[in-house]
């Protein structure tokens, strides 16, 4: 217990939010150093993960470690990148929304490695199948390919990403990784043709030359020695002890095959890499006029005439015509390098697109994604050029997004929980972002203007324009604008920006050329003649047809960066901040000055202040209660009520003061770290007390076990005796009850009753469910069955409403009249009757005034057929308490007293025709009514019940006679057919054709 309580002092605090001196940078660094010394390279600030590069292998990335962190509460285990990855994954699944993980830090801080670890974790932790394994293999194998073509050794890092990479991993609703997509940003193409001292070109060049097979190199015209290639020796460090190009070559070739590149694609891709190397060995001589001519000895099989035209002449417009103008030697070298950069840059874009094709998921169902942003860290070299300017601008934008999203998420959490928000002071770097990207005023706009204006624009004229427009900006200074002291550290061709991470001096040399990055038109034309299909795809025939000048590199990068910001702002953000422990890549060394600088420019102190915002700790009630419930008798071992009430009971028992905590809607907020530490210390003590109780319980369990072992022979003997009695009882079960079978028969009775209890019929109509009883229970079973039936009947009757009862009574009458007699009766059973089919407001007012004293009981629309011509007439049939009325709008066409109603007749078929027979006591009395009613069963049932004529409704086969008037009869003939019809027949009868009913 004592060791557990003092461990915190030795290894530091796992979450900086719990740091008492959270405003102290010194305390922050001291905690980082404590943990780093113990090889604890991960620390949290809330859900943000800080990772300090140890520059050595640590045994914390095994399959066992992955299993340990799968599905575990984020703060339950020590900080780890697997914990972050798992929490992002399960949050995505539970909330069904999109997330991204922003991995940032200096070059060499371990960003690329962090990205790999997250990908590897998802590859192991996600569900597995043949298809899903293929997708995951391709995602994993895209890493070594992109590193080979996009990473290089720099002064600070042997595997520095020289491009930005954003990868979306797509998951379906089951959490399966089903696809992916990669976006790349600003490949450092200038590295293809130039490297600083101590740096290398992209890895793939060295891997091909050092690791390529003899046949392949011979086919490509290459030699197995990097010193033969001008583009590979400028940094004077082709061979690096920490890089094994031969092994990496095998890894890349294997990865390309896994990603589904065919042999032809791979051959053409390496052909492009070889062509770039050959391009670097092309040299130029000057003729007598100073114009460039090719040294053909260096062409190595390239067609001399074509390359000569491409690299020694340029097309220019003269009097609306295109003519060839010769290059100077400098122009030719520029054209050669521009072509090499263009070929490599476009091939890299093609490569990313091909990888995306292999990762594409064509299923149109909605996907959730987790994005991984592994982008260049803030860079400060001895000489900083256009590339560093773009990279650092990118980091400014990400820092701006980081602060916005952090503040937004924290403020939203406080508001959602009903906790007062305390404003946090932080440096808003929008002023620096505007300095770089503002329209018409920013550095990129000024650079673009210089690139596009007529005349001789140079890097120095660009610098002069910057001085004109930004002379008073607090974050911009040049040699001309600086004071005397600052001027000493600035060259005349430099400008200095005060970034959020500190000052960076940029040399403007090369800014114009690198921003233009243009190819002469005739060079593009020559590229389209290439037989390499990748080159043809990278230089399409439609390109360049437009007269509009293409966007500059800086503008392209700014626009792609803005699109990236749009992608990120609609996703939930998670952060991994990578720190370099020292500049010498030395294990165990913690350079406090260097780490302090990174902590400052990564904004970690601001993030901590935002995260604290008055409260050191916040957890959901369920999580807090689950962990600390053992500290309060009222909540241990189980709290049955609302979690918030349980937490309130718990903290009151622990003696929390009102100013130490607040209760939100779903979480508890604890203000001071010391409050939580006191709780945690009490929990450590409690755990040991619980362990003692568990030990006591276990010892008791062991003692009981020993007792059972000693008692076992007696139990076995008793069991055997019971077994024998059971067998004897079974064999004598049919005999009269005796000592031998009484116990068995009791068992049979009990067993039958238990089974019967679980298998009783559910309805009165269920006649088959009742279990067949054993002979000894036959009489009892019958009594129980009758009782159960009576109980179900009683329950059913009590549950019938007055409305339902009336319905059933009507249906009983209908059944008595029509069941088994009329074909359409079975289909009417399930159709409930209604009180009336015509509301009183739909009956004419004059009719209502005439018959209102008789009280209308039921109304229904009918079609009345004339007695002589059988012409159909729409009418309303109204049943009152005293008579039947046939109504046409405002006129009562016929009234039949129930006394005069002899009865009604219908056919046995599926038609809806009925004849109401009227007693003709008066010569003026109209005859019988021939009616067609869609609700025949309902109408006749209502009539039978109101007029008490149940016995007067007849179902007739064939024909029905009716009286037209006294002593004059008519007839209705019924038959079946395909379609229902009613018409006057040649015999003068009304012919009714009813549809055939399949079964009665």
**What pLDDT digit, counting tens, does each position of 276-297 carry?**
998 888 888 887 777 777 775 5
CA–CA gap between residue 500 and residue 475 (Å, rounded): 10
Domain end marker among 799, 825, 849: 799
Q: What pLDDT does 521 receive?
A: 60
Together in a domain, 770 and 646: no
Residue 318 has pLDDT above 50, yes or no: no
Are 925 and 792 in a shared domain?
no
Indicate whether 767 and 677 sit together in one domain.
no
What is the structure's pLDDT at 5? Answer: 42
In the set 31, 87, 104, 107, the catalytic residue is: 107
Q: Are residues 872 and 771 in the same domain?
A: no
Asked if 236 is an active-site residue, the reply is: no
Nearest 5°: CA angle at 201, between 196 and 205? 160
Helix (H) or strand (E) holding 164: strand 164-171
Tally of domains within the chain: 3
3-class DSSP assignment, residue 887: strand
878, 958: one domain: yes
The answer to the question of residue 655 being in a domain is yes
pLDDT at 18: 79
* Statement: residue 874 has pLDDT above 80: yes
CA distances from 350 to 20, 190, 273, 274, 559 (A): 52, 18, 13, 17, 20
- Calpha distance 920→865 (Å, rounded): 19
| Predicted confidence band of residue 307 (pLDDT cuts 50, 70, 90) | low
- Please give the residue that has the higher pLDDT: either 686 or 666: 666
With a cut of 70, say whether residue 529 has pLDDT above it. no
CATH number at residue 921: 2.30.29.30
What is the rounded distance in angstroms from the CA atom of residue 304 to the CA atom of residue 256? 33
Residues 632, 651: Cα–Cα separation, whole Å: 9
Same domain, 831 and 952: yes
Structure tokens at 607: 């993030």
The more confidently predicted of residues 74 and 887 is 887
Other beta carbons within 10 Å of 318: 9
Question: What's the longest Cα–Cα distance across the chain?
Answer: 140
Closest CA to 575 of 46, 48, 43, 45: 48
Would you say residue 359 lies in a domain?
Answer: no
Average pLDDT (737-742) is 79
Question: What is residue 4's predicted lDDT score, i.e. its pLDDT?
Answer: 42
Q: Is 12 considered catalytic here?
A: no
pLDDT(171) > 90 = no
821 plus 956 within the same structural domain: yes
* pLDDT at position 507: 94
Query: Which of 171-175, 662-666, 918-922 reaches the highest mean pLDDT?
Result: 662-666
* Residue 456: predicted pLDDT: 80
Which pairing describes strands 901-907 and 913-918: parallel, antiparallel, or unpaired? antiparallel
Q: Are both 637 and 780 inside the same structural domain?
A: no
Six-digit token string for 19: 């740091």
Catalytic residue among 157, 741, 880, 907: 157
Residue 522's pLDDT is what?
A: 58
Model confidence band, residue 303 (pLDDT cutoffs 50, 70, 90) = very low
Active site residue 157: yes
Tokens of 363: 């299923």
Q: For 9-18, 83-92, 329-338, 904-913, which range has the lowest pLDDT when averaged over its residues? A: 9-18
| Model pTM score | 0.62
Q: What average pLDDT does the segment 754-780 reach?
A: 86
What's the confidence (pLDDT) of residue 536?
Answer: 65
Higher-confidence residue of 800 and 40: namely: 40
Among 799, 826, 842, where does a domain finish? 799
What is the rounded distance in angstroms from the CA atom of residue 586 to the CA atom of residue 951?
110
Element (H, E) at 969: strand 968-977
Catalytic residue (one of 51, 112, 125, 142): 112
Distance, in Å, from the CA atom of 82 to the CA atom of 114, rounded to the nearest integer, reads: 10
Residues 854 and 950 in one domain: yes
CATH number at residue 632: 3.30.70.1590
Q: Residue 364: its pLDDT value, please?
A: 64
Q: How far apart are CA 610 and CA 913, in angstroms?
A: 83
- Would you state the pLDDT for residue 305? 45
> Is 614 one of the annotated active-site residues of the chain?
no
Structure confidence at residue 123 (pLDDT): 84
- Assess whether pLDDT exceeds 80 at residue 829: yes
515 within 8 A of 448, measured Cβ to Cβ: yes
Residue 783 domain-assigned (yes or no)? yes
Nearest to 115 by CA among 99, 128, 127, 104: 104
pLDDT band at 131 (very low <50, low <70, confident <90, very high): low
CA distance 25 to 592: 11
Cα–Cα nearest to 981, from 870, 821, 860, 887: 870
Catalytic residue among 142, 154, 160, 395: 160
Determine the average pLDDT of the residues in 45-55.
91
Distance, CA of 279 to CA of 108 (rounded, Å): 31
Residue 793 maps to a domain: yes
The average pLDDT across 511-520 equals 78
pLDDT classification of 306: cutoffs 50, 70, 90? very low
HSE at residue 808, side-chain half, CA atoms within 13 A, is 7
Q: Residue 648: inside a domain, yes or no?
A: yes
Tell me how crowded residue 503 is: count the other CB atoms within 10 A of its CB. 13
Q: Which residues are annotated as a binding site for ATP?
A: 105-112
As a whole number of angstroms, the distance between CA 334 and CA 332 comes to 5
Query: In the chain, pLDDT over 90 holds for what percent of residues?
Result: 31
User: 55: closest CA among 79, 39, 38, 44?
Assistant: 39
For residue 319, what pLDDT band results from cuts at 50, 70 and 90? very low
In a domain, 664, yes or no: yes
Three-state DSSP class for residue 835: coil
SS3 319: coil
The answer to whether 391 and 494 are in contact (CB under 8 A) is: no
Average pLDDT in the chain: 85
Q: Tell me the sheet residues that pair with 872.
A: 865
* 953-956 and 901-907 strand pairing: parallel
Active site residue 161: yes
Q: Do 224 and 209 contact (CB within 8 A), yes or no?
A: yes
pLDDT on residue 777: 85
For residues 781 and 826, membership in a common domain is answered with no
Tokens of 726: 């059971």
Is the confidence at residue 919, as pLDDT, over 80? yes
Please tell me the predicted confidence (pLDDT) of residue 337. 86
Contacts with 273 (C-beta within 8 Å, 6 or more apart), sequence order? 204, 205, 208, 344, 347
Residue ranges for the known binding site are: 105-112
Section 733-744 average pLDDT: 79
Mean pLDDT of 15-35: 88
DSSP result, 463-501 = HHHHHHHHTT-TTEEETTTS-HHHHTT--TTEEEEEETT
Q: Are residues 857 and 768 in the same domain?
A: no
pLDDT one-digit tens code per residue, 632-657: 888 888 888 888 988 888 888 888 88
- Say what the pLDDT of residue 148 is: 94
Among 316, 358, 300, residue whose Cα is nearest residue 145: 358
- On whether residue 263 sits in a domain, the answer given is no
pLDDT at residue 723, as a whole number: 81
pLDDT score for 8 = 53
Render 175-212 in DSSP notation, one character per residue.
S-EEEEEEEEE---THHHH---TT--SBHHHHHHHHHS
Residue listed under structure tokens 């025949």: 936
pLDDT of 229 higher than 60: yes
Q: Does the pLDDT at position 898 exceed 80?
A: yes
Q: What is the pLDDT of residues 932-950, one digit of tens each?
A: 999 999 999 999 999 999 9
Question: Are β-strands 292-294 and 502-507 bridged in parallel, bridged antiparallel, or unpaired?
Answer: unpaired
Q: Per-residue confidence at 524, pLDDT binned at 50, 70, 90? A: low
- The pLDDT value recorded for residue 543 is 59
Same domain? For 862 and 894 the reply is yes
Which entry of 161, 238, 582, 908 is annotated as an active-site residue? Answer: 161
The length of the chain, given as a count of residues: 1000
Using the 3D structure, point to which of 646, 680, 704 is the last residue of a domain: 704
How far apart CA 766 and CA 756 sit, in angstroms, is: 15
| pLDDT per residue as tens digits for the range 554-571 | 898 888 888 888 888 888
Residue-range definition of the domain harbouring residue 865: 804-995
């Amino acid at each position: 217990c004592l060791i557990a309580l003092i461990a915190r002092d030795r290894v530091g605090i796992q979450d900086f939010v719990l740091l008492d001196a959270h405003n102290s940078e010194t305390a922050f660094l001291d905690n980082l150093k404590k943990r780093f010394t113990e090889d604890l390279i991960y620390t949290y600030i809330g859900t943000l993960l800080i990772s300090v590069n140890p520059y050595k292998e640590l045994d914390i990335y095994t399959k066992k470690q992955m299993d340990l962190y799968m599905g575990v509460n984020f703060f339950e285990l020590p900080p780890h990148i697997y914990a972050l990855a798992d929490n992002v994954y399960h949050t995505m699944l539970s909330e069904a929304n999109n997330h991204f993980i922003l991995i940032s830090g200096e070059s060499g801080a371990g960003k690329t490695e962090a990205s790999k670890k997250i990908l590897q974790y998802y590859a192991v932790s996600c569900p597995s199948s043949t298809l899903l394994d293929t997708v995951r293999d391709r995602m994993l194998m895209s890493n070594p390919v992109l590193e080979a073509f996009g990473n290089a050794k720099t002064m600070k890092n042997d595997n520095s990403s020289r491009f930005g990479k954003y990868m979306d991993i797509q998951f379906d609703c089951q959490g399966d990784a089903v696809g992916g997509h990669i976006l790349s940003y600003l490949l450092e193409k200038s590295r293809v043709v130039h490297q600083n001292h101590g740096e290398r070109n992209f890895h793939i060049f060295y891997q091909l030359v050092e690791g390529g097979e003899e046949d392949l190199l011979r086919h490509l015209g290459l030699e197995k020695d990097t010193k033969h290639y001008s583009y590979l020796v400028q940094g004077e460090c082709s061979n690096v002890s920490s890089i094994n190009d031969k092994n990496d070559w095998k890894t890349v070739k294997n990865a390309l095959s896994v990603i589904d590149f065919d042999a032809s694609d791979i051959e053409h891709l390496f052909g492009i890499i070889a062509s770039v190397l050959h391009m670097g060995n092309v040299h130029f001589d000057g003729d007598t006029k100073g114009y460039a001519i090719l040294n053909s000895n260096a062409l190595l099989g390239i067609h001399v005439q074509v390359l000569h035209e491409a690299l020694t002449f340029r097309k220019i417009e003269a009097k609306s015509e295109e003519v060839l103008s010769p290059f100077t030697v400098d122009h030719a070298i520029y054209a050669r390098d521009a072509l090499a950069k263009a070929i490599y840059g476009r091939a890299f874009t093609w490569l990313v697109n091909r990888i995306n094709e292999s990762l594409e998921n064509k299923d149109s169902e909605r996907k959730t994604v987790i994005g991984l942003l592994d982008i260049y860290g803030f860079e400060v070299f001895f000489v900083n050029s256009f590339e560093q300017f773009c990279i650092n601008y990118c980091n400014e934008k990400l820092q701006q997004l980081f602060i916005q999203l952090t503040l937004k998420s924290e403020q939203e959490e406080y508001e959602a929980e009903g906790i007062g928000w305390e404003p946090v002071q932080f440096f808003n770097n929008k002023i620096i972002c505007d300095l770089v990207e503002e329209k018409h005023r920013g550095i990129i706009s000024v650079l673009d203007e210089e690139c596009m204006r007529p005349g001789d624009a140079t890097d120095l004229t660009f610098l002069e324009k910057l001085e004109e427009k930004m002379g008073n900006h607090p974050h911009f200074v040049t040699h001309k604008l600086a004071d005397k002291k600052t001027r000493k550290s600035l060259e005349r061709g430099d400008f200095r920006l005060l970034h959020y991470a500190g000052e960076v001096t940029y040399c403007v040399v090369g800014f114009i050329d690198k921003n233009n990055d243009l190819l002469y038109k005739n060079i593009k034309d020559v590229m389209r003649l290439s037989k390499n299909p990748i080159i043809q795809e990278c230089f399409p025939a439609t390109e360049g047809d437009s007269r509009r000048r293409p966007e500059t590199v800086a503008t392209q990068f700014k626009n792609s960066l803005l699109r990236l910001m749009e992608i990120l702002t609609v996703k939930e953000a998670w952060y991994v901040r990578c720190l370099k422990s020292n500049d010498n890549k030395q294990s165990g060394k913690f350079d406090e000055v260097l780490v302090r600088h990174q902590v400052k420019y990564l904004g970690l102190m601001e993030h901590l202040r935002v995260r604290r915002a008055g409260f050191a700790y916040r957890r959901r009630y369920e999580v807090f209660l689950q962990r600390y419930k053992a500290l309060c008798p009222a909540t241990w071992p189980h709290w049955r009520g609302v979690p918030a009430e349980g937490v309130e009971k718990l903290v009151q028992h622990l003696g929390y003061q009102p100013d130490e905590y607040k209760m939100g809607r779903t979480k508890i907020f604890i203000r001071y770290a010391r409050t939580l530490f006191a709780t945690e210390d009490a929990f450590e003590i409690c755990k040991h007390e619980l362990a003692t109780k568990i030990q006591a319980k276990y010892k008791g369990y062991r003692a009981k076990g020993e007792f059972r072992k000693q008692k076992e022979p007696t139990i076995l003997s008793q069991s055997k005796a019971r077994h024998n009695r059971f067998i004897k009882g079974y064999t004598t079960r049919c005999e009269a009850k005796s000592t031998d079978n009484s116990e068995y028969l009791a068992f049979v009775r009990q067993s039958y009753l238990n089974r019967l209890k679980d298998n009783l019929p559910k309805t009165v109509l269920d006649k088959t469910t009742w279990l067949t009883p054993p002979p000894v229970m036959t009489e009892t079973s019958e009594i129980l069955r009758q009782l159960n039936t009576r109980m179900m009947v009683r329950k059913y009757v009590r549950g019938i409403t007055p409305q339902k009862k009336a319905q059933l009574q009507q249906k009983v009458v209908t059944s008595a009249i029509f069941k088994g007699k009329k074909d359409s009766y079975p289909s009417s059973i399930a159709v409930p009757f209604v009180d009336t089919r015509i509301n009183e407001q739909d009956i004419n007012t004059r009719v209502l005034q005439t018959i209102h004293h008789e009280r209308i009981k039921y109304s229904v629309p009918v079609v009345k057929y004339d007695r002589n011509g059988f012409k159909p007439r729409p009418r309303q049939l109204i049943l009152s308490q005293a008579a039947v009325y046939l109504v046409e709008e405002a006129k009562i066409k016929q009234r039949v007293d129930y006394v005069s109603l002899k009865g009604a007749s219908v056919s046995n078929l599926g038609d809806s025709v009925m004849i109401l027979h009227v007693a003709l006591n008066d010569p003026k009395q109209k005859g019988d009514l021939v009616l067609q009613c869609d609700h025949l069963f309902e109408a006749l049932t209502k009539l039978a019940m109101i007029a008490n004529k149940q016995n007067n409704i007849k179902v007739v086969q064939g024909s029905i006679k009716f009286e037209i008037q006294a002593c004059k009869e008519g007839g209705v003939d019924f038959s079946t057919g395909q379609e229902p019809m009613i018409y006057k027949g040649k015999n003068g009868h009304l012919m009714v054709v009813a549809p055939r009913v399949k079964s009665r």
